[in-house]
Chain A
Amino acid sequence: MRKYSPAGHIFLLSLCLSWLLWPALLGARQVVDQLGRRMQIADHPERVIALAPSITEIIFSLHQEHRLVGVTLFSDYPPAARKLPKVGSYVQLDIEKIVSLKPDLCIGIRDGNPIALVRRLESLGIPVYAVNPTDLERVMETVDEIGSLLDSQEQAQRLTAAMHARVQAVKARIAASRSRPRVFFQIGISPIVSAGTHTFINELIQLSGGVNIAAGPVNYPRYTEEEVIRLKPDIIIITSMARGVRFESVKARWLRWKSIPAVRNGRIHLVDSNLVDRPSPRLVDGLEAMARIIHPELFGNPP
């Protein structure tokens, strides 16, 4: 066996140290994303790609859109986002396009971006920071985290403080009322699909002082007309999610069943799906819209 000289030891030691320190020297830092994955990213990412419409919205709301070099299809808010280069849809990312935009950071979302595509990007040397906002609280944390990734902690804190205040305001008014109408939230038309317990929609219904009659372990349970008639919802809320199907025609289908309290009392409403299923700051707009629908006596009539 060969023996190392002391000089050799020092050399090896310094090699180890420099390996530990090189990120700092290169202007990079270690971060851990919301899935617990450790990665190396640039200290000040300048070329960022948002891999989902909600992340585009968060970056715009932090006024960091100058760093965005790419967004996904359906990134339609704010309108300026439509002008950015598109890198495919969030479930079918165009890897070649992403590589060609030379990003120093991609921000992806667990509930949407297929993990295989994320791994493929990482194998090409592109760091993908994954977020996993599962409720309103975690959306605010995500805004804060993206803020600190993009050197805009202060903006993020101001934004989340405002979101927090608006949520508290809704909560305070709802606490004053004891009525808890039973809500059927319809996101699919054919088949009829609603939202279970572990969804933003369920959280928004609860915070707005309603009871989600589709609450349960299945995230997006299917229903038949018969089941809904039997459940006698006080309010039916329909989202604009099913493209190409007009709200009026869906509403007309329900109007045939006068035994449903929501039909008798004219409480069938439309809500913009982008406000209730995108984990972005606009979720609070969604909350206020839902609160107006469920408790018009507290918030004024819905528009």
Chain B
Amino acid sequence: MSLGRPVIVRRMLLLSIPLLVVLLAAVYLGMSIGSTGVDLRAVARSLAGGLSDDPTLGTIIWQIRFPRALLAALIGATLSLGGLVFQAILRNPLAEPYILGISGGAAIGAISGILLGLSRFPGVSLTSFAGSMATLLVLMLIAGTRSMVQNNRLLLSGVMVNAFCGAVIMFLISITQDSRLHNIIFWMMGDLSLADMHQVTILGITVLPCFLFIFYLAHAMNVLLLGQEMAQSMGFDVRIIVSLLLVVTSLMVSATVSHCGLVGFVGLVIPHLFRLLLGADHRLLVPACLLGGGAYMVLCDILARTLPSHGEMPAGVVTALIGAPLFIYLLKRTER
């Protein structure tokens, strides 16, 4: 907070440019690596405008791998930023984008959609989005705007809503007795295998304005961390800021989850990672989470679809397998 404007802008650029390069490199790798091989040079030629000699490889690079890499980047960015915001407004280091029951509501919506026999897109996406929005509404009614500032009440209500949703999900799964069970389980593990440009465009249009809005409120999040009275005395209306952040973040997380299912763990580890590395200034943390979270997710997705010799594993598995040890290592190092 003591840093002046020009200094912070310079630090933002110094941070964002390398991270953007990392993200672009990750997307490039995502376009180069797939279940049928590694085509680093072919992608370069294709970007330069060549590659008319092999239309199949062109299709694989541009219509299968490229949308998938973009989708992974959007998901990683959204979930990391969602975790960051929830950790700030709930002032709880264990907060993650799913903590307020959005995931549970979305899952109930998606499972209902699958059981009703709706198509994956847009049918299941819509029921899932409706489910998470309904949970958010219920949560806001329970917690009320007053207790939104008393963080523990909001947090506890969210945990309870999530637990209730968890029970409903297990009930629905236990009564499902046919091949739709597969669809449900793939959805719950997070599944990016159906990515196409149409989906990327829709998700992009939804989440990019949310990113800008949260970035705009980055300074306000810094002030929130000083405590309610301090923030009030500095002229910030805590209740409005918290409500706005809560709704916008829930909206973008719901949109992501409804497209790709419950991709896990990115939202917890990435914000903490950058907080360890960069400190508590959200003006730096927001761009870092967006670019770094995006790149991390793209890289994890590459591993998720190439590590098993057949088929794929959920990207959430890789994010946790790499993220948790990495985080513990950094935590130990900063302790010394």
Contact = CB atoms under 8 A, between A and B. Distances in A.
Interface of A: 73, 86, 88-89, 91-92, 94-97, 99-100, 102, 111-112, 114-117, 119-120, 123-125, 193, 218-222
A88 B311 contact: yes
A95 B178 contact: no
A219 B176 CA distance: 11
Interface stretch (B58-66, B102-110, B143-151, B261-269): B58-66
Contacts of A114: 120, 182-183
B179 A112 contact: yes
Contact of B310 (A88, A91, A222): A88
A126 to B, nearest CB: 10
A116 B121 contact: yes
B194 A116 contact: yes
Contacts of A96: 34-36, 60, 64-65
Contacts of A219: 177-178
A89 B196 contact: no
Interface residues of B, number: 25
A29 to B, nearest CB: 23
Contacts of A91: 179, 182, 186
Nearest to B61: A96
10 contacts: A88-B311, A89-B311, A94-B312, A96-B64, A99-B56, A99-B60, A102-B56, A116-B194, A123-B196, A220-B178
Interface in B20-71: 34-36, 56-57, 59-60, 63-65
Given A100-B56, A114-B183, A116-B120, A95 B193 contact: yes
A180 B35 CA distance: 52
Contacts of A95: 64, 193
Interface string B94-132: 000000000000000000000000011100000000000
Interface string B176-204: 01110011001000000110100000000
A92 B59 contact: no
Max count, chain B CB within 10 A of own CB: residue among A86, A89, A94, A222: A94
Nearest to A123: B196
Contact of A221 (B60, B177, B193, B310): B177
Contact of B35 (A94, A112, A222): A94
Contacts of B311: 73, 88-89, 92, 94
Contacts of B312: 92, 94
Contact of B179 (A111, A119, A125): A111
Contacts of B36: 96-97, 100
A124 B179 CA distance: 25
A111 B179 CA distance: 8
Contacts of A112: 179
Interface string B151-195: 000000000000000000000000001110011001000000110
Contacts of A94: 35, 310-312
A58 B18 CA distance: 55
A96 B311 CA distance: 11
A92 B179 contact: no
B177 A218 contact: yes
Nearest to A100: B36
A222 B183 CA distance: 20
Given A73-B311, A96-B65, A222 B56 contact: no
B316 to A, nearest CB: 16
Nearest to A120: B194
A96 B59 CA distance: 9
Contacts of A86: 310
Nearest to B312: A92
A267 B183 CA distance: 37
Contact of B194 (A111, A117, A193): A117
Given A95-B193, A124-B63, 11 more contacts: A89-B310, A92-B193, A92-B311, A96-B60, A99-B59, A100-B60, A115-B119, A116-B119, A219-B177, A220-B178, A221-B177
Nearest to A221: B177
Contacts of B56: 99-100, 102
A219 B178 CA distance: 7
A99 B310 contact: no
Contacts of A92: 186, 193, 311-312
A215 to B, nearest CB: 15
Nearest to B36: A100
A114 B186 CA distance: 11
Contacts of B196: 120, 123
A123 B195 CA distance: 12
A222 B311 CA distance: 29
Given A97-B35, A115-B119, A117-B194, A124 B178 contact: no
A220 B35 contact: no
